[in-house]
Amino acid sequence: MAKLSSLVQHIEAFVDVSRPANQQTVSIDAVASLLKNDLLTIETLVKEMEMYLTTTDNIIRARGILLLGEVLTCLTENPLGNATVHSLIRFFTDRLADWQALHGALLGCLALLRRKSDAGMVTGSDARALAESYVKNLQVQSLGQHDRQMCFELLECLLSGYPNDVASLGDVLVYGICEAIDGEKDPRCLMVTFHLVEILAQVFPDPSGPLAHYAADSFEILSSYFPVHFTHPKSDDLYVKRDDLSKALMLAFSSTPFYEPFAIPLLLEKLSSSLPSAKVDSLKYLSSCASKYGVDRMEKHSREIWLALKDTIFTLSSENVLSVVSESPDAMGFQENEVVKEGLICLHHIILQNSNLFINLIVEDEDVEVIFRSVTSCRSYNDITVEDRKKLYMLGRILSVSAQVSSSSCSRIFQTFFLRLMDILGVPLDGSFLLSEKLNSGALYLCIELLAACKNLVLDSQEYASKSFSLEDTCCSLLRNVSAALTDALSSILVLRMDQGVSEDIYSGVKGLQYLATFPGFLPISKPLFENILAIFMSIITSGNERALLWKLSLKALVQIGTFIEKYHDSEKGLGYMNIVIEKFIELICTDDSVMSFRLKLEAITDIGSTGKDFMLRITQGMEEAISTNFYEACIKENLKAVEILLPLLECYSSKVLPWFQNTGDFEKVVLNFAINIWNQIENILTVSTCFQKKDLLDATMMAMSLAVGMCSEENQAMIVQKAYNVLSLVTSLPLNESLPLSAPINVEGLEHSQYLYSFSSVDEWLISLFASVIMAVRPQTEIPNVKLILKLFVSVLLRGLVPAAQALGSMINKLPVKLNSTEGSSTCTLEEAMDIIFEANLWSLSVNDPLRKCNIMDRNKVGITNLFLNIYENVTVPTQAIVGLAWIGKGLLMRGHEKVKEITMLFLRCLLSSGKIRIFPVQQDSLGDCNGPDIDPFVMRSAADAFHVLLGDSEVCLNRRCHATIRPLYKQHFFSIMMPILLSSVAESDSSTSRHFLYRAFAHVISGSPVIAVLAEAKKLIAVILDALSTLSVDVMDKDLIYSLILTLSAILTDENERDAVTENAHIIIDRLIGLTSYSHKMLVRETAIQCLTALCGLPYVRIYPMRTQVLRAILKALDDPKRIVRQEAVRCRQAWESISSRSLQF
Amino acid sequence: MYYLFLMIIFKSVLCDNTNSLFHFFFCSQEKIERRPRKAPSDIDGYAVEPIHQQEIFELVDIKDPEHPYSLEELKVITQDAIEVDGNRVLITFTPTVEHCSMATVIGLCIKTKLMRSLPSRYKVDIRLAPGSHATEAAVNKQLNDKERVVAALENPNLLRMVEECLAPTYI
């Protein structure tokens, strides 16, 4: 009973119009959930609501019926008994007559009609009754928008759900629908209406049926919407776009062939409208209607359609045909405008439908004939008038579209036009071409268009074996006959007009040859002819005139031919291509001729190679040979020329070839070969005593090497590492020989070879750098032989200033495992052990009698670092390099999220603070004695500050994704949040100016390296320090890039909404500092950004900024006279903003 | 007619300075978006780029007081009509019609804009193209009289009109 009483409450709440809307929705939901949970049946509800549904009070009755309708809408999934559905639909059907309560009735009908069959549906007879009632009672046109839309949806449901039952109503229904949709204007309703007509056509397909009877009337209603003119603003709640409407209307137009007598004349008439969108629509509708109405019905219109299309295409061809050959050689021709494009598509559809008839129309058309004659009458392209050029292109497009439809149409067009063109060009059907005079440009163009069409047709028919294309077709036999002579003719253009030809002719010539070469295997050109074409292109390429259009086009054509061969797996042509093009190119690379610049050759060869895998493999092979030969030349004989060749080769290898392989996959072998090959080369060279000096060559080799290694799998990487290690151990001056204990506890004394530290030749530098580049790129799991020894080697060479060694060390530390598997050999080591080696090896201690050695037993790690630090007073360069090394090691640790990075950063901090006479290690003060106190050299401090750049910067060379680094998520944020408080307090504590300068430098590095989000979160604390840093750093020119990154960070803070309060608080000092920077003479970007920041500050509360106004304006006045234009422009903007603070107020 | 009106305003403004009091009570809340942008390569950071004709022409991108078009679109000012000679800039503009009542306002806008945008060492002269306006000489005299220009800009109505014309250039 309780339920029932709540039900009554809900019903009352809904029926009462004065209640707020949200309360009413709540009641609907409550009632619906009662029904869903079977706590209430529909019957009970109806009984309970009886009074509301039958009362004579219109408003209450309407609300009652609406409630029932809304509840049913919520229940579409719940099963209902047939009897219930029947009685409900009868009720709603009756209520359609009750215009005051119509809304609820429509809603209820729709909800019931949309039910799925498994939940109880409306029966056919009920649907019929509903339709009858609909036709009898509803005056759709007089209803409101929402009700109209529901009415149409109701009809849509009836027609699509119960076509047979409703169809029996016949004329009455069709008439009713026509009446309902007449004059509809709302786009949402129209969408439904158009769809309604479409369904109607399916319901009454009978040619003597009611729709056929009312075709004229219904089309008249529809036709008034064409062409759709819909200017409703885009962003609104209607969600209907012009294109949707137009498409729906098109489907309605083409829904039934009965519309044919009315639609086609209308469309043809609108085609001659001046509105481009109307033309485009007409053409689209025409294509769609033609295919729906059928051949027979369309036949009688074909003549008019052809005339209209011809007219549209010829008169509307684009205005800017003058730029026929655009800069990019692939886009021949003109910008086809929308109408012409649509016109050609329409032509294609219509020819496809009735090809014989239409081809006849085209072939026999007088205009076509006239145009054909006029455009082929001029010899040179330049003689053709602009008007004729347009016609020429359009004729070409029409012919090519018609020829592409089917093999019969192709043959027909070829028979009619191609023969004549051959005749005009002077190409005999049999025999060879004898060049007499200049070729006819117009004829040439048309000929090429036809060739392209024929080629596409053949390719299409091959692809979808649906259309059979026989060898015996006229056009093919024709082509076979003329191909040799045509090739000669085309190549004669290219050869003769190499320098001064009309670009259109050259274009046609190249394209023609390309099309001939890309006909599928059997047709129509022979193998020697194909090779001949390739040879022609190659001769153009080797002439090396890269500026000329011809050269570019030829390269493009070769690339196209290569792509074609790869796509259609044409092995015979592939062979020819390989022999003629690829081999020739490889020869070009290997030999040295001055016709083409070497970089150009490389560019061309990689373009060609990227067309297919086999080609690329061969090319890589050739490149490797070239690298080998030149490597030897460059390193042994110090041949400068060889270096000049080698450099671009290696660069090309790393920038083009390797990425290509990475994209295509399956590259392991090639890449492995490359890496091993280089090491072989090095090994060979080592036997001869030699001098490596080329730094840039080393860089290029390292880059290629690290890229190649990075791409390999673990096994292959292990092979490369092993190979490299073997080569490395050949060099006796390096500590990799057996005399050193490998796995025994580290013998500190054994490593103190000052002699090898200093006998470090350029060969060693090469070897170690290259080895380092391999180590940087390996995957974490890759096995590295003798890790400990390698670590020691790197540690030792690091002090020679070899940064790659430091980077490799960082990479190793980043990737070493924390725990060893028992299966692994003794040659690997854990991170812990590696750290021990680095820190305790004592390599940084240059004075043998270091008192700290004794402390080793206590705490090895700590003392290791201490050692490093304490002994750096001896020599300035060594500690600087040690710090660089430590920075990279620290980066490796930081990226994997290891704790020890803290110790390293603390060391840097101590370096920075030291000149302030701060006791560094108070604990060990006693043992250190006289070591305390002395100032650290500024160079050391500087490198300590820059170490933060290494720590937080993204390196291109190592420790990135490509090099398979272990990267802990958010490691920068983490580091930032730990370091920032320490740095801030250090800055506050430091009392020496040098120290503070370098602290600010470190601070700037940390700020600019960290993600902006992290910085913004701390902005309140940072603003003041950033400003101080800006003023401190702006003294030194060297810091200009840091200044720029700082001011960018500052500008991010200034524009962040959340930081507004902090900025407002500090407005005074910020503006002061920015004003200072507007005259920063060392970097234009700093000045520009400073002024932009000032402009942004204008948005702060008036009270805060007004006092600063004169000061800012004075500074800006100076900036107006800045040497740089961009700064002046910003200054103008800024001045306006600040001036307006006062002048705006004048308006009040 | 407008010319006369202007003359009256020019004079009346001299004794009407009460508006300046409002300076202190209102503020503008114009917010200008800014994001760190990728810098173009700063090849020679110290090279001086002198102010030339085109730069000044870009500055004079002013809306016409009567139309929603810019002066450039209406061909009132062309780039060739700007002469830069040392610290002197001479701008010749052509009103759309001979009796254009807005010629003075247009001239005032150009002058204001350039005074605000060019370094103070520049002297800006504005004149009508010879034969392009009925009261050419009078307008020229008015535009190049420093005191009159300053006085005109003190007038709130006139200043508002000028600001409206200059506004679109600062978006």
Structural tokens at position A1006: 């940390």
Residues 1047-1076 of A with CB under 8 A from B: 1048, 1051-1052, 1054-1055
Identify the DSSP state of A666: -
pLDDT of residue B15: 35
Residue of B nearest to A1119 (CA): B119
Residue from the list A1044, A1106, A1137 with its beta carbon closest to the beta carbon of B30: A1137
Contact yes or no for B120 and A1092 at CB 8 A: no
pLDDT value at A840 more than 80: no
> By the CB < 8 Å criterion, does B59 face chain A?
yes
pLDDT by residue (tens digit) across A301-343? 888 888 888 888 887 655 444 444 443 333 444 456 778 888 8
Full 3-state SS string of A472-501: CCHHHHHHHHHHHHHHHHHHHHHHHCCCCC
- Chain B hits for A1107, CB-CB cut-off 8 Å, are none
Facing B39 at nearest CB: one of A1085, A1121, A1128: A1085
Respond yes or no on whether ipTM tops 0.90.
Answer: no
Chain B positions in Cβ-Cβ contact with residue A1139 (cut-off 8 Å): 116
Q: What is the CB neighbour count within 10 angstroms for residue B125?
A: 15
The tokens for B34 are: 């800014």
C-alpha–C-alpha distance, residues A375 and A370, integer Å: 9
Going by pLDDT thresholds of 50, 70 and 90, the confidence category of residue A1093 is very high
pLDDT, residue A814, reads 87
Give helix A695-711 / helix A640-652 axis angle, nearest 10°.
Answer: 30
Q: What is the pLDDT of residues A1024-1059, one digit of tens each?
A: 899 999 988 888 888 888 899 999 999 999 888 888
Whether the CB of B163 is below 8 Å from some CB of chain A: the reply is: yes
The token pair at A419 is 């023969």
- Give the tens place of pLDDT for each residue, A763-777: 777 888 888 888 888
Q: Would you place residue A827 in the very low, low, confident or very high pLDDT band (cuts 50, 70, 90)?
A: low
Comparing A202-206, A428-432, A1060-1064, A1137-1141, the range with the smallest average pLDDT is A428-432
What are the counts of helices (DSSP H) followed by strands (DSSP E) for chain B? Answer: 6, 3
How many other CB atoms are found less than 10 A from the CB of residue B73? 12
Spatial neighbors of A715 by CB under 8 A, at least 6 apart, are none
Per CB-CB distance under 8 Å, the chain B contacts of A1109 are none
Residue to test with chain B: of A1041, A1135, A1147, most B Cβ within 10 A = A1147
State the average pLDDT over residues A750-756: 38
Residue bearing the bigger pLDDT, A974 or A594: A974
Residue-level pLDDT at A821: 65
Lowest mean pLDDT among A359-373, A849-863, A977-991: A849-863
Task: Using an 8 Å CB-CB cutoff, list chain B residues near A1123.
Answer: 46-49
Residues 1088..1117 of A with a Cβ closer than 8 Å to B: which? 1089, 1092-1093, 1095-1096, 1098-1099, 1101-1103, 1105-1106, 1117
Q: What is the pLDDT of residues A566-613, one digit of tens each?
A: 887 777 778 888 877 888 888 777 776 666 777 778 888 888 888 888
Name the band, by pLDDT with cuts 50, 70 and 90, for residue A500: low
Q: Which residues on adjacent β-strands are paired with residue B63?
A: B70
Segment A48-54 shows an average pLDDT of 83
Among A378-387, A668-677, A945-954, which range has the highest average pLDDT?
A: A945-954
B170: chain A residues, CB-CB within 8 Å:
1133, 1136-1137
Predicted pLDDT of residue A733 = 58
Averaged over A722-749, what is the pLDDT? 57
What is chain A's mean pLDDT, rounded? 78
Q: Which among B42, B121, B170 has CB closest to A1084?
A: B42
Sheet of strand B123-128, all strands in order from the earlier edge strand to the far edge = B82-85, B88-93, B123-128
**What would the CATH number be for the domain defined by A1026-1148?**
1.25.10.10
Burial of B22-46, coded b for 16+ CB within 10 Å and e otherwise, reads: ebeeebbeeebeeebeeeeeeeeee
Is residue A152 within 8 A of residue A196, CB to CB? The reply is yes
**Contact indicator for A869, A937 with CB cutoff of 8 Å:** no
What's residue A343's pLDDT?
A: 85
Distance from CA of A1072 to the nearest CA of B (A): 20
Q: A1095 to chain B nearest CA, in Å? A: 7
Higher model confidence: residue A1066 or residue A932?
A1066
Report yes or no: A68 and A31 within 8 Å, Cβ to Cβ: no
The alpha carbon of residue B24 is apart from the nearest alpha carbon of chain A, in Å, by: 8
pLDDT for the residue A433: 64
Average pLDDT over residues A971-980: 89
Can you give the pLDDT at residue A1005?
92
Residue from A417, A414, A400, A513 nearest A456 by CA: A400
Q: Which of B32, B48, B160 sits opposite A1137 (nearest CB)?
A: B32
- Residue A1075, pLDDT score: 93
Q: What is the mean pLDDT of residues A179-199?
A: 86
pLDDT at residue A742, rounded to an integer: 35
Q: To probe the interface with B, which of A1039, A1114, A1130, A1136 has the most B CB atoms within 10 Å?
A: A1136
A363-402 pLDDT, tens digit per residue, is: 888 888 888 888 777 777 777 777 777 788 888 888 888 8
- Kindly identify which residue of chain A lies nearest to residue B160, measuring between CA atoms: A1147
**Pairing state between β B88-93 and B123-128:** parallel
**What is the share, in percent, of chain A residues with pLDDT greater than 70?**
82
Q: Is A308 helix (H, G, I), strand (E, B) or coil?
A: helix
Mean predicted confidence (pLDDT) in A244-248:
87
Q: What DSSP letter does each residue of A442-479 carry, written as one string?
A: HHHHHHHHHHHHHHHHHHHHHHSTTS---TT-HHHHHH
In angstroms, how far is the first alpha carbon of chain A from the final one?
A: 69
Q: What are phi and psi of B63, to 5 degrees?
A: -80, 145
Query: Nearest Cβ partner of A1132 from B23, B32, B59?
Result: B59
Question: β-pairing, B82-85 with B88-93?
Answer: antiparallel
* Yes or no, beta carbons of A1133 and B170 under 8 Å apart: yes
pLDDT of residue B34: 33
In this structure, of A403-417, A704-718, A1038-1052, A1134-1148, the range with the lowest mean pLDDT score is A1134-1148
Q: Contact, A863 vs A855, CB < 8 A?
A: yes
| Contact check, Cβ <8 Å, B32/A1081 | no
The full DSSP string for A142-188 is GS-HHHHHHHHHHHHHHHHH-HHHHHTTTHHHHHHHHHHHTT---HH
pLDDT digits (tens, 9 = 90+) for A608-648: 888 888 888 888 888 888 888 887 777 777 677 777 788 88
pLDDT band with cut points at 50, 70 and 90 for residue A877: low
Whether A761 shows a pLDDT value over 70: the answer reads no
Query: What is the mean pLDDT for each group of 10 consecutive residues in chain B (171 residues)?
Result: 44 36 30 38 69 84 77 83 88 85 87 87 90 87 89 87 73 41
Please state the domain extents for chain A: 257-353, 359-525, 775-1010, 1026-1148
Residue-level pLDDT at A1091: 93
Peptide bond into A804 cis (omega under 30): no
State pTM to two decimals: 0.68
Predicted confidence band of residue A296 (pLDDT cuts 50, 70, 90): confident
The predicted pLDDT at position A377 comes to 79
Q: Which of residues 879-908 of A touch B (CB under 8 A)?
A: none
Share in percent of chain A as helix, strand, coil (round to 5) = 75, 0, 25
Residue A1016 sits at the chain B interface (C-beta within 8 Å): no
pLDDT, average across residues A437-446: 76
> Does A1147 contact chain B (CB < 8 Å)?
yes
